[in-house]
Amino acid sequence: MATYRSVFDAAELRAQLNDAGINTKFMASIWKYVLQNPGCELGEIPDLPSSAYRLLRTKFKPFTSTVHSVFHSTDGVTTKLLIKLQNGAFVEAVIMTYDTRLGKYGGKPRLGGPRSTLCISSQVGCKMGCKFCATGTMGFKNNLTSGEIVEQLVHASLLTNIRNVVFMWHHFDTISCHVVSENDDDDGIYVLMGMGEPLNNYTALVEAIRVMTGSPFQLSPKRITVSTVGIIHAINKLHSDLPGLNLAVSLHAPVQEIRCQIMPSARAFPLEKLMTALQTYQKNSQQKIFIEYIMLDGMNDEEQHAHQLGKLLETFQVVVNLIPFNPIGSSSQFRTSSDQKVSDFQKILRGTYNIRTTVRKQMGQDISGACGQLVVNLPDKRTHENTSLLTDIEDLRI
């Protein structure tokens, strides 16, 4: 059976059009038509050169993935999409709904209304093998193409108006946009988050984001966050390849020894070298860096760890996001930190080191859509039982 490429795979589409002597300016009109007519055949797209139709028909499909199942959490704000790829593998994407009116700007109520954030997968499984993460238990299967990454945005857009997206690496593969907006008119952050380590699929990641920020998607780079375990060589080139993005780093420990215990991949990315790379990134980008820190009882959540983290970050402009651990089954070796420990940790970072610190609101745990729970399975379908709206973390003023 012939294997087709996604029409949203920009590099392949561009190359095929160039080889056929067809102007690549038609790419945007092809994408726009498919977005507006998701059930279409490529031969229906109007006003293309005649040679383009045969090329599209023999090489490409409007979608190479399909939405297999949609699960709604009882929290009323979280939806998980189980997406089947052309090779038969599955990935998951998560939609979360927030209400901008619940935030404040300059002490005054904000305008706006409900908006949705999409967390996107970049790989099937993950190589990182973090011990607290369900996705890590899958092992690594394969990278997604740039088209398969973009298709997740298109699928989600058919369910709701997606305002924000997250490329998160595997254990945050899911749930909450953590970016604090600096501007009152900032509509949100597109972040790519889901299964996989985005920077381990660097070429497809860059290509997908360039599609998302171009016509017809036109997403602002300020609304795109890429989260990483800390792939140093990729961080070193990220700003020049994709200027204006938000970078989030899954740190999880203030010292190398603890990092290696809970994140085996950290051995390849020594903390000292990682911090040097982040220093260079911040100098070049002039943007805040978001630090992800999962709270594991007795492992990295004591007061001494808070002070070590504060000293590590005190020369940076950062926002720290403390993330309560989501148990991934009875076999998990870790326990969730108590609310008191999380609060004390936050107070030390804020009070002693003047570091902006948030605590992540957990969402979608009943559909395995919460942080660390993304592993492909087929739970029973759930329906909305609670339609309350949550404040988007982006709208919090810290």
- Catalytic residues, by residue number, are 92, 371
229/349 Cα distance (integer angstroms): 21
Residue 165: phi and psi, rounded to 5, are -140, 150
**Among 164, 146, 173, 38, which residue's Cα sits nearest to residue 92?**
173
Helix (H, G, I), strand (E, B) or coil at 206: helix
Q: Is the alpha carbon torsion for 326, 329, 197, 157 positive or negative? A: negative
Element (H, E) at 272: helix 271-285
Determine whether 81 is exposed, middle or buried from the number of CB atoms within 10 Å of its CB (0-12, 13-18, 19+).
buried
CA distances from 6 to 65, 341, 343 (A): 8, 47, 46
Tokens of 245: 């993005």
Tokens of 95: 């939609």
The label of the residue with tokens 């055949």 reads 41
**What is the Cα 56 distance to its own chain's centre?**
30
The label of the residue with tokens 């994140």 reads 263
Residue 82: phi and psi, rounded to 5, are -100, 115
349/357 Cα distance (integer angstroms): 7
Tokens of 120: 């996107």
**Among 115, 120, 122, 140, which residue's Cα sits nearest to residue 130?**
140
